[in-house]
Every structure is written in C-alpha cells, then in structure tokens.
Homo-oligomer: A and B are copies of this chain.
C-alpha cells in the first residue's frame, strides 16, 4: 500500500469548536507562560486544515517499519466461535515496541528543527521514554528520561533498553533537580514529580521538554495508524463496522479511530476501552481541569477524574492518566464516540486467549482493546450480526511478563473498586470553572 503523505486532522470535519484552553490560576497571578513548544507543533494544534503534510524526513523514518501489519485474527475467531470478522492493527514491531514512536519521531523532528539539542521526558511505565530515546538517536539528539523510581525498580529492563539506545535514565525523585531534592532518596516517586523534574531540566540550554500524550498534535501524528488500516481493510474488501482501542490520554484511540470517522465513509462505531481503575469517560466529569499536577499549564476542558485522582495500582500503567484528550472528550460528549470500562482480570483473560490463539503477547494497555473486541464479537453473535471489528494492538507485552505472571498465578483475582466517594473527593479539587457564556 501507498504510505500516507499527510496526517488526518479531524478538527476540519467537526461542526463545532473545541472549548478554548484557559490560563491556569497561576498565570492570573502574573506567572509567565513559557510553553517551549515549537511553533510548528503549536500551528498543528490550532490548525483546521484536513490534511497536515508529513515532513519528508519523518516519512522516511516511518517507512523503516510502516505500514504496520493489519492481520485478520482467524485463530482468535475460531477460538471464540464467532461469526464476526476480527482484524488487528499491530504497532508492536517497531524499534520502541509501541505506537508512541509515531509522535516521538515527529516531535523529535520539530524540536530539532527548532534548535533543541536534548529532549527531557518523564515516563511512568517506560513506553514513552523508550519511544523518545529511539527517536532521539535517529535525529542525533541527546535524551534524558526521568522515570518514576518504583517503576524503574519493578521494570529494570526498561532502563536497560533506554540506555542501550543512548538515553540517560534518572530515577525520580532525583537529586539532579530542585523538584526532586524536595523528596528523600526513599520516595517511590510519581509521574507528576517526574514531570516536574523533566520540565526543570529545560533550564539547561538546548534542552526541551517533550510530552507524549493528550496533545492534539500527538493524536494527529498517530492517525497514520487509522489511515493505513482503512486502506488495508479495503484491500480485504472490508470496511470496519466497529473500531476498538484502549484509552489513556487518547493518542492510541484517536490515531486508529479518527480516520474512520471521515465524511463519506462509515458508518463506524468507535469504542474506547478504559480500565475500571481509571474510568475518566465512563465516570468522570466534562470540565476544565489541570493537565498535570504541576497546575502550571493551561486548563483544558476534558473528561476528568480530577488531576489529584490517584488510580488504584494496576498493570496497564499507560492508561492511568486522570483525564483524556480534549478532542476525544468533546466528541464523547456529543455521542460521536463510545466508551466502556473493564476490570483488569477480564482484560488479562482475553489477552491470554489472544496470545494463545494468535501468538502475539499484547501490552496490558493493548489488552483492553482485545477484550473490547471480544465483548463486541459476543454481542454481535447474540444479535445475529457479523460485523468487521478492527482493534488496536498498540504495543507488545514482552516487558510486561511480571504482570502476566501475576495473572497466571491468580494474583489478579480481585476486582478493583473505585468508589463514587473516591471520584467526588478528587473532583472537589477541580479549578474554578468559567461562567457559562
């Protein structure tokens, strides 16, 4: 198939405007805005053009592993005994092992063009850190990764692969920044501390902070997945009746689903799958909120559980973000996309079924899409339909064997309960909402 030459910007096809971002309370007190984001990315964030050309150099990098495979999951279909046709788009074969490389490469390109010598990032589970480390070595940039200390201790192999790729990996909290020095050496760390450390690292000349999820441009860059999948399904003589993807901050879901919502195609139901432990769409509120716990960045209107929401410990670290991208949120609010939430036990059950049938081990995040597809297939069988269901296998799970071990040993048995009180307590800390216009 022919490689996409442009990313798809769904903003061009929405008949409403997104609620504008608002300055955070800190700015109202006179703090200076220093976004550090290159103008090229800000322009993409604001653009209403339907197609944003992929720079030649980015396209050349994509071509090293794209188009990624679209496979029909015939063995899974047989194992389920379903009459639905199941297809999956597999993003795990690339150097960094997940879809996050699609935006990491684009961002490295734009940051380098804007003069950056080094990128600083924060990572929880390690996928974003690995993706940026990979992109940096492609573009000759240095890379420093602040990784949550407890994650680093639980997943030492993530550190190793990032160091192999040439990145400097620092356990957060660290003594390399003021933000880190506020904590003791024994502190287990959080993503918000790691973010604060990575942002502080930009005081070093030539260093820029690089964020991987939720931004409109990171959703945009990932649309190569859906554009390819649409073409690949057409080669099978198919159109997706249902698209299913895991939902964290939104780049995986949007990247696969949005191209199927283009005018003139469809109809396609787009189902996002979130973990029951972090149910921002299914149980959160559509409100202005902070995007991270620094409370320094512009407020965005999103479905959120509140930036102080601490999800219960779970294996799909990439889906633990308290909110989801403002575009996905606005579309969900208008009923243009759907959402479901599942317990990790049932998600692992489907993941192991999938691995046995198809021989590919999904990342726990991707396993949510697998389970979503399994549920949709069962529903269709009950209703006597036989839809084509496309789901996103956004990354491999070869660094997540400890999580699968827990599941096989029966240690993922208890449902995770998030109470209404948990959510209400967190939402009580939402910033003041603007007056309705």
Q: Judge whether A267 is part of the interface by a CB distance below 8 angstroms.
A: no
Please determine whether B408 and A163 come into contact, CB atoms closer than 8 angstroms.
yes
Contact B361 A405 (CB under 8 A): no
> A401 contacts which of B97, B137, B160, B408 (Cβ < 8 Å)?
B160
User: Does A215 lie at the interface of the complex (its beta carbon under 8 Å from any beta carbon of B)?
Assistant: no
Contact in complex: B137, A95 (CB < 8 Å): no
Q: Which residues of chain B are within 8 angstroms of A137 by Cβ–Cβ distance?
A: 356-357, 359
Q: Known: A96-B359, A398-B398. Is A164-B404 also a contact (CB below 8 A)?
A: yes
Q: Is A165 among interface residues, defined by CB-CB distance under 8 A?
A: yes
A166 within 8 A of B: yes
Cβ distance A318 to chain B, nearest Cβ, rounded Å: 18
Copies of this protein chain in the complex:
2
Contacts A156-B405, A157-B401; A165 near B355 (Cβ below 8 A)? yes
Which residues of A in the span 330-382 have a Cβ within 8 Å of any Cβ on B? Answer: 352, 355-361
Bound state CA distance, A120 and B75, in angstroms?
A: 24
Cα A398 to Cα B404 with chains together (Å): 16
Q: Interface 1/0s, chain A 84-101, versus B by CB < 8 A?
A: 000000000111110000
CB–CB A134/B359 < 8 A: yes
**Closest Cβ of chain B: how far from A132's Cβ, in Å?**
12
List residues of chain B with CB within 8 A of the CB of A28.
none
How far in angstroms is the closest Cβ of chain B from A127?
13
SS of A interface (majority)? helix
Interface size on A, residues (CB 8 A): 35
Considering the chains assembled together, what is the distance between the CA atoms of A134 and B95 in angstroms? 23
| CB contact list, A277-310 vs B, under 8 A | none
A399 interface hit (Cβ, 8 Å) = yes
Distance of A240 Cα from B166 Cα, bound (Å): 31
Contact A358 B95 (CB under 8 A): yes
- The docked-state distance in angstroms from the alpha carbon of A6 to that of B64 is 29
Q: How far is the CA of A221 from the CA of B97 in the complex (A)?
A: 29
Give the residues in chain B near A164, CB-CB below 8 Å: 352, 355-356, 361, 404, 408
| Residues in B neighbouring A58, C-beta threshold 8 A | none
A83: interface (CB < 8 Å): no
Q: Is the Cβ of A161 less than 8 Å from the Cβ of B71?
A: no
Which of B94, B160, B359 contacts A165, CB < 8 Å? Answer: B359
User: Are the C-beta atoms of B408 and A161 separated by less than 8 Å?
Assistant: no
Query: Can you spell out 9 A-B residue pairs with CB atoms less than 8 angstroms apart?
Result: A64-B71, A96-B359, A97-B398, A134-B359, A137-B356, A137-B359, A157-B398, A160-B402, A164-B355
A sample of 12 more A-B contacts (CB under 8 A), given A164-B361, A164-B408, is: A75-B138, A93-B93, A134-B359, A137-B357, A137-B359, A138-B359, A157-B402, A160-B401, A163-B408, A164-B355, A164-B356, A396-B398
